[in-house]
Structures are given as C-alpha cells and as structure tokens.
C-alpha cells in the first residue's frame, strides 16, 4: 500500500527544527501541501525555498496562534486536514528545585506546550467539524507517562496535561469524524539543548539510559515523524484518543 497525502493540507506548529522540520519534509515528500509556523524566522528560510509555506508566529500568544490557523485555512478552498501540535520544549530551562522556579518560568513552559496546543486545537476544531473530517496529532513526551529526564516540573506537568486534552478532544470530536491522538517520543537529539543535556548525563548515566531502551539506541527525528505520518494517514482511521510511545521500548 502506498501512502499519499496528495491534495491534503497539513499544518505543523514549531516546524523550524527537529521533529517538526522532519515531519514537514516527510509530508511534503508524500504529496501534502505543508504549512509550518515557528518563532524562528531564519531557521525556516530553507523550508520556504523548498515550497513549504512558513509563518513566523509566537504561539504563546493565543490570538496569534488562532490567526495562523485562520490564515492557513483561508488559502484556497481546502480545509486543514491535519494539525500537528508539535511546538514545545523547555523554553531554555534546566531542572532545578521547585522552590527556585519563578512564575514566569512555569508559565512559559505551560504556554508553549499546553496552551498553544489548546489554542491551535480550538481554532481548527470548528473547521474540521465543518469538513466532517480531520486529524489532530499532539506531540507529547515520555515525560507524559513518568518523570521527565529534564527535571523541569512544568514540562512534565504540561505534557501530562496534553494527554488529558488529547483524550477529551478525541471524545468530543470523534462523532464529527475527527481523530485526536498523541505521540510520546523518547529522548532524541534535535537541538543544542538536547545534545548538552546528553553530555551532562555523563558516560555512566548515558549507558544506563541506553540499557533501559529495549532496542538499545536513541530515537531519531525520522522515527518520530513516521509515527505522525501514520497517525495522519487512513491507516490509523480507527485509532482515536491514544498515545503512541516512540521510544524503542522502555
Ligand atoms: N527532542 C526530544 O528528545 C523530545 C522528546 C519528547 C518530546 N519532545 C517534544 O517534541 C516536540 C518537538 O521537539 P524538538 O526537540 O524537535 O524541538 P524543540 O522542543 O526545541 O522545539 C520545537 C519547536 O518549537 C518552536 N517554538 C518554541 N517556542 C515557540 C513559540 N513561542 N512560538 C512558536 N514556536 C515555538 C521552536 O522554535 C522549535 O522549532 C516538542 O513539543 C518537545 O517538547 C521532544
């Protein structure tokens, strides 16, 4: 069976680097019209040159997030077929004792991981309902199922909350032909922060982490994008409200 997204419109948040960038590349290769937004303009330049529609949006601004969905859906007659809530991360933070965490630090992580997922989903849901179909894929984390390797409390809390939102929206939107699922990636090198984090673990902890993965390797951006492609495809049409761990078996 050949997978094709020809004629489909796919919107990916946080597509400048890492998983989002690889997803954009894979969906485009499978024929989709791909739209990406991110806060980093420069990092998206080559994506635009490759024919991917890009927009600079600060997703912590919920109005701006909704404005992006509106702008994408107004281009041509098509609805948005697939929304991938991928933007997230630890907002440049490192784990520290909860007593040292400021309100601003807590809020910034909740904003990009949870509130942006809420804002984009809220904006796209009526459009997908009108179209009678759609797929929403939330990129959560292994940190939604256990404590986070990052030690960032807000990150762990936000990724757990994204799962709750996934399950609730699956029930709310399922009757309208919309599937809502989540992907929970294990640790993957995507940026300087993840590389630094791995270095900081030191040799012994790195080996311990690898021994804790059944397949004895870290995942790749390709591994995570493949799960998103599967969940966006017709192959997963009866999968709803689920979380797929892509972590090599932990
Ligand atoms: N890399 C990992 O090991 C890992 C593991 C589990 C889950 N995740 C999750 O996967 C997703 C992608 O992670 P990643 O490692 O590829 O990249 P990342 O976590 O560094 O960030 C993803 C993208 O979000 C964008 N972004 C951040 N703040 C934004 C804002 N305010 N407005 C718009 N865009 C913003 C970034 O610029 C980046 O391109 C994130 O949700 C992350 O939490 C990552």
- Are the beta carbons of 236 and 230 closer than 8 angstroms? yes
Q: Which residue has the tokens 């098509």?
A: 78
Q: Which residue has the tokens 């909860």?
A: 98
**Is position 4 within any domain?**
no
Q: Which pLDDT score is estimated for 76?
A: 79
**Is position 26 within any domain?**
yes
Q: Which residues belong to the active site?
A: 155
**Is position 48 within any domain?**
yes
Q: Which pLDDT score is estimated for 1?
A: 63
Residue 127 sits in which domain range? 9-246
Pocket test for ligand 1, best of 11, 13, 18, 43 (most atoms within 8 A of CB): 18
Q: What is the pLDDT along the chain (250 residues), one digit of tens a residue?
A: 679 999 999 999 999 999 999 999 999 999 999 999 999 999 999 999 999 999 999 999 999 999 999 999 999 778 899 999 999 999 999 999 999 999 999 999 999 999 999 999 999 999 999 999 999 999 999 999 999 999 999 999 999 999 999 999 999 999 999 999 999 999 999 998 899 999 999 999 999 999 999 999 999 999 999 999 999 999 999 999 999 999 999 8
Pocket of ligand 1, beta carbon within 6 A: 14, 16-20, 38-40, 57-60, 86-89, 112, 139, 141, 185, 187-188, 190-191, 194
Q: What is the DSSP letter of 91?
A: T
Please give the distance, rounded to the nearest whole angstrom, from the Cα atom of residue 24 to the centre of ligand 1.
Answer: 14
CA 119 to mean position of chain CA atoms: 14
Q: Which pLDDT score is estimated for 2?
A: 72
- Are the beta carbons of 31 and 23 closer than 8 angstroms? no
CATH code of the domain in which 120 resides: 3.40.50.720
**Is position 153 within any domain?**
yes
Sign of CA dihedral 68, 85, 206, 108: positive
Sign of CA dihedral 187, 143, 41, 12: positive
**Is position 202 within any domain?**
yes
**Is position 58 within any domain?**
yes
Q: Which pLDDT score is estimated for 135?
A: 98
Write out the two tokens for 158: 């936000």
**Is position 44 within any domain?**
yes
| Total structural domains within the chain | 1
């Amino acid at each position: 069976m050949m997978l094709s997204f020809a004629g489909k419109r796919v919107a990916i948040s946080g597509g400048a680097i890492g998983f989002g960038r690889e997803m954009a590349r894979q969906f485009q290769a499978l024929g989709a019209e791909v739209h990406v937004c991110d806060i980093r303009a420069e990092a998206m330049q080559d994506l635009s040159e490759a024919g991917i529609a890009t927009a600079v949006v600060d997703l912590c601004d919920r109005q701006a997030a909704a404005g992006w969905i509106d702008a994408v859906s107004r281009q041509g007659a098509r609805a948005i077929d697939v929304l991938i809530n991928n933007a997230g991360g630890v907002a440049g933070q490192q784990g520290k004792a909860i007593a040292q965490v400021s309100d601003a630090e807590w809020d910034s992580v909740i904003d990009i991981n949870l509130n942006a997922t809420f804002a984009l989903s809220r904006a796209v849901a009526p459009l997908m309902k009108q179209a009678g179909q759609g797929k929403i894929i939330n990129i959560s984390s292994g940190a939604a199922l256990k404590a986070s390797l990052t030690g960032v409390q807000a990150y762990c809390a936000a990724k757990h909350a994204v799962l709750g939102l996934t399950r609730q929206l699956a029930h709310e939107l399922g009757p309208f032909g919309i599937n809502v699922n989540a992907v929970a990636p294990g640790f993957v090198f995507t940026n300087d922060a993840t590389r630094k984090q791995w270095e900081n673990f030191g040799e012994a902890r790195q080996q311990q982490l690898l021994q804790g993965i059944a397949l004895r390797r870290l995942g790749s951006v390709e591994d995570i994008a493949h799960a998103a492609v599967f969940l966006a495809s017709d192959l997963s049409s009866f999968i709803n409200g689920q979380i797929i761990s892509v972590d090599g078996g932990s």
